[in-house]
Amino acid sequence: MKRALKISICAAIFINLPLFANEDKVLPEVKVVSATGFEQNIKDAPATLSVITKEALEKKNHKDIESMTKDIPSLFGTSPAAANRRGISIRGFSPRFTKILVNGMPVPGDNAYKGLRSVGGSYSFVPPASAISRIEVIRGPMSSLYGSDALGGVINIITDEFSNEFGANLGSSYKFARNKNISGEFYNSLYLHSGLIDDVLSVSVYGKNLNKSEDKISYGIREQKDRNFGAKLFFKPNENNDLILELARSDVKYKRTKGKTLSTGTNSVASERIEGDMINLSHEARLDNILLQSYLSYGKLKETAQQNLTLKTLNFDTKGSYFTDNNAFTLGLNAKKEKLDEKATTADAANVKRYDVSLYGEDDYHLTKDFILSTGIRYNYDENYGSHVSPRIYSIYSLNDFFALKGGVSTGYATPDIKQRTQDLALPFAGGLGAQLGRSSLKPETSVSYEFGGVYNNNEGFETSLTGFYTSFKDMLSYNPICSRGSVCMHKGKIYPNGIWESINIGKAEIYGVELTNEWQVTNALRLNQSYVYTKSKQKDGPEAGKTLNNYPLHTFKFGANYELNRWLNFWSQINYYGRTKNSFNYANDMRAYVIADLGINYNVTKNFSLNLSVYNLFNEFFTTRSNRYDILIADGQKIELGFNLKF
């Protein structure tokens, strides 16, 4: 009954939205770069895109990229791992197919890790919200431009650019829970930028830290201390060239205590640490109708405790774009090398290396003033799996000044990551009590994705879109138990009481659905956003045939409102409904539907100082589900957050 009331409240708000209208305002024109690699109007981008502006980010407290993007249509934060982070799923795809970029460059990935470490390393390199100019989210495959780990979509975080001025932003917040077993957390961030030589040299630095106290229940969040620091040096030798050097450091520590998140009598690891380093050097040159962009990126992640593992990645990318009056042609080269040093197991291949090289091209051609055809292709060579070609085609047709049709077909190709492809490499999980084995016999995953939809914009502040999507997979990667809990499970002389799993190809699978979105600038002060998404997935082959690929809800509805009462006060609310999750491949039972409602207020005390109050999970949803004899916390009750922001 209570759940029905919550859903009714959401529906009533949605149905009666027209009652608020009394003053129209045109939606601002938005420029994006993620769909093609160069700047263009969002309506001309050959992809389904959402943009989160700096103004929107400033209205809320954000500790990570999941909290910044969770209200975007078709984005879903997977169940929180013990690392206090949720993976980001797009259109029902696994979070491993969500590509995280900062200024178009990949951050150090998590593909060598299992369990809590498989979500977190890359998130730690995301700068604080105060340093971000905007976030571009592509819903749908972009493998032809960004590679195999962009099968689900792309999140590109665009940070602030060169500045001659000095500026600083200091933010701090404290979040506490209504439930006495859920502990609070402090979050602090600092962002500074300054010109060193006018129009030639500038610098920016940032830092953030999160201190999360340990929860008092076994399925809760462990103690977490998260530190992230970064610096960027901008050099403009002339008006046509930009050079940027970026350094970043991440240090995350976790700790569990017996009687709290560590069960008494267990031999699980009580503390862990993940350290990371990132160095990026990028260059952009603008020569009349030619744009040249290159970067060299080095990343390292090191986990100490149960794995004693280090993953090093070197990534080089260079591309050039040539522009004419009705055409934009891009040609690029990408090379990637990985090295995995693993000392916790006795696998023969304890030091593993791999590399791949890709050539890619994209052509955006304006056949007429109303019809844009975008084609792309990527040739990939992997030292273990040979070569593969992935083409893509997308088109946009404007019927008139208000309505446009968009759609296309994309192919995807993903090779097993470095841990999955390494024969007998055992990666521990569940505090070292279980292990997943790699297999050199695995096949690469391939996919074909279709998307078609329409967008209506009345040019008076209202935009709506309807998009259908379908993806078929072949040789989808998953895992299968080869020794279950309760048996004597041994590998290379080590016993794993919680069982041993192996990486496998499950055969064929599919994901399909429909997205309906609305964006309405009702008045100069009131802005509304709504979305409904239907998503269904199914494994057609393998040991879990008939079950879903993941734990994505069948129906999701999101409603957001932002109201600026005056220059001092701003109110916002967000109501997200997540429908029932059926036939999950790793949950013991179907997961029930639930509603998460958040609301907040911002008070600008002065031009440069603001206070904010946020209430999360207003209806106090608190429940768990069961997976492999473990309780998983889905919603952890109502929380209140107090914070401030100081600019100078």
Q: Any bridge partners for residue 204, and if so which?
A: 193, 232
CA dist., res. 499 & res. 510, Å (int) = 29
Query: For residue 349, what pLDDT is reported?
Result: 46
For β-strands 500-505 and 434-437, DSSP reports them as parallel
Query: For residue 476, what pLDDT is reported?
Result: 86
> DSSP per residue over 307-359, as a string?
S-EEEEEEEEEEEEEEE-SSEEEEEEEEEEEEEEEE-SS--TTSEEEEEEEEE
Q: CB of 234 within 8 A of CB of 201?
A: yes
Residues 6+ apart with CB under 8 A from 325: none
CA dist., res. 18 & res. 25, Å (int) = 14
Query: For residue 348, what pLDDT is reported?
Result: 46
Query: For residue 80, what pLDDT is reported?
Result: 57
For the chain (648 residues), the mean pLDDT of every run of 10, in chain order, is 51 43 54 72 81 90 88 82 70 87 83 48 83 92 84 91 94 95 94 95 96 88 90 96 95 85 67 88 94 95 75 94 92 93 57 89 93 95 93 94 94 87 78 80 93 93 95 88 83 83 88 96 94 93 80 92 94 95 71 93 94 96 78 88 94
Query: For residue 18, what pLDDT is reported?
Result: 41
Into how many domains does the chain fold? 1
CATH of the domain at 52: 2.40.170.20
Backbone angles phi, psi at 112, to 5 degrees: -100, 0
Closest CA relative to residue 408, chosen from 47, 17, 4, 13? 47
The token pair at 437 is 């084995």
Query: For residue 116, what pLDDT is reported?
Result: 40
CA dist., res. 10 & res. 415, Å (int) = 42
What are the Cα distances from residue 525, in Å, to 22, 27, 65, 613? 11, 13, 27, 20
CA dist., res. 636 & res. 624, Å (int) = 9
- Give the range of the structural domain holding residue 126, as residue numbers without chain letter: 2-647
Closest CA relative to residue 417, chosen from 435, 394, 432, 436? 436
What is the value of pTM for the model shown? 0.91
